[in-house]
A and B are shown apart, each in its own frame.
Chain A
Amino acid sequence: NAGVTQTPKFRVLKTGQSMTLLCAQDMNHEYMYWYRQDPGMGLRLIHYSVGEGTTAKGEVPDGYNVSRLKKQNFLLGLESAAPSQTSVYFCASSPDRDGHEQYFGPGTRLTVT
């Protein structure tokens, strides 16, 4: 039981490049989330999903897209990376609606130059 895994762990992009971050969970959780963590700002929700085939915008969705084609995977895409998207990205999953015990992945550190 690996829990929540994220790939890649590190990535450097040039402005304008695109990439996809992959999150996978093996706990059969319905709900999945993408956060970004910036110094002094805690974690902010980018997008979330309440089930396979569904996605919704969070607090800071601009510049990102997501897909949940399979229940266990939640992909975060950056179509045209900007330096403001330099951050640490965390994926999380939860087994129930009111968010108890969200389980977090180890994070992806992204630098956009």
Chain B
Amino acid sequence: GDSVTQMEGPVTLSEEAFLTINCTYTATGYPSLFWYVQYPGEGLQLLLKATKADDKGSNKGFEATYRKETTSFHLEKGSVQVSDSAVYFCALSDLPGGTSYGKLTFGQGTILTVHP
């Protein structure tokens, strides 16, 4: 079955540091890939997405590139802020033509803490 593996956390950085959170996946076919963010006490929000190989998703200074050859979708940001402190989830969704009815498979989440 499908699976998503994220780098183990938690990750602690100083403000303005470079961020990378690794994500690799296993799936049959050609999934869509997502990064969701969960701020303390809130539900998940879509951060960015990519629907085919070599696509780059970007939002709020975060970027991730869909790498089919390495089955990866690593999240990066050049300069983090205290307000980026949150839990980040990598996720995949099956082919549109599949029978999964849009179910998302999530990684375990990575806690990011940014200090001033």
Residues of A within 8 A of B (CB): 4, 31, 33, 40-45, 48, 50, 56, 58, 90, 92, 94, 96-102, 104-107
Question: Counting chain B CB atoms within 10 Å of each CB, which of A42, A50, A56, A107 scores highest?
Answer: A42
Select A56's contact among B45, B51, B89, B101, beta carbons within 8 Å: B101
- Residues B106 and A42 in contact, CB atoms below 8 Å apart: yes
Select B32's contact among A92, A98, A104, A107, beta carbons within 8 Å: A98
Distance A104 CA – B36 CA, assembled complex (angstroms): 10
- Residues A104 and B93 in contact, CB atoms below 8 Å apart: no
Contact (A94, B102) CB under 8 Å given A100-B93, A107-B43: yes
Tell me the nearest residue of chain B to A43, going by C-beta. B106
Contact (A102, B101) CB under 8 Å given A42-B108, A43-B106, A97-B96: no
- Residues B95 and A98 in contact, CB atoms below 8 Å apart: yes
- Residues B42 and A106 in contact, CB atoms below 8 Å apart: yes
Distance A99 CA – B27 CA, assembled complex (angstroms): 15
Q: Which of the four size classes fits the interface of chain B?
A: 20 to 34
For residue B60, CB closer than 8 A to chain A, the reply is no
A and B contact pairs by CB, cutoff 8 A, 7 listed: A43-B104, A50-B101, A98-B102, A99-B32, A100-B102, A102-B102, A104-B36
CB neighbours (8 Å) of A105 from chain B are: 43
Tell me the nearest residue of chain B to A40, going by C-beta. B108
In chain B, residues 74-116, which have Cβ atoms closer than 8 Å to a Cβ of chain A? 89, 93-96, 100-104, 106-109
Select A98's contact among B42, B45, B94, beta carbons within 8 Å: B94
CB neighbours (8 Å) of B109 from chain A are: 40, 42
- Residues A98 and B96 in contact, CB atoms below 8 Å apart: yes
For residue B44, CB closer than 8 A to chain A, the reply is yes
Distance A80 CA – B46 CA, assembled complex (angstroms): 34
